[in-house]
A = this chain, B = another copy of it.
Amino acid sequence: MKHLLVVAHGSRRAASNDEVRSLCQQLEQLDHPFSEIACAFLELAEPSIPEGLQALIANGATEIVVMPYFLSAGRHVTADIPAEIEPVRQQSPQVKISIAPYLGAAEQIGAILLKQAVAGA
């Protein structure tokens, strides 16, 4: 049972958090190998990363991929997200939790950015 947890920064603006939740629901419609796709937030919104992981574990996850929904490898990606995950790893050592490369590392990002910029010009 491999589950996916999309982790976003979280915003004071509720609509922005809802946008992430909505994206995760849309992902479920696409072709993917995960038993379940959920989202969590580093700060300012719920569920937190530990809460999100624990909910997936309660649903039977034996393997969880954490996908940082971030564009650059700042402190949040390199330090804060791993630090949030670590206690859950220790509490549930039977669950394999891995961290995927953050979204901004995807090679298609540049092409999408240009397409979006041209459309908005």
Question: Which A residues are closer than 8 A to B by beta carbons?
Answer: 2, 4, 6, 8-9, 11-13, 15-17, 19-20, 23, 26-27, 30-34, 63, 65, 67, 69-75, 78, 98-106, 108-121
A120 touches B101 (CB 8 A): yes
A114 touches B72 (CB 8 A): no
Between A and B, 30 residue pairs with Cβ closer than 8 Å are A6-B113, A6-B117, A8-B71, A8-B72, A12-B74, A12-B75, A13-B74, A15-B73, A16-B73, A17-B72, A23-B109, A23-B113, A27-B114, A30-B110, A33-B121, A34-B117, A63-B121, A65-B117, A65-B121, A67-B113, A67-B120, A71-B71, A100-B116, A100-B121, A101-B116, A103-B109, A105-B116, A106-B112, A106-B113, A106-B115
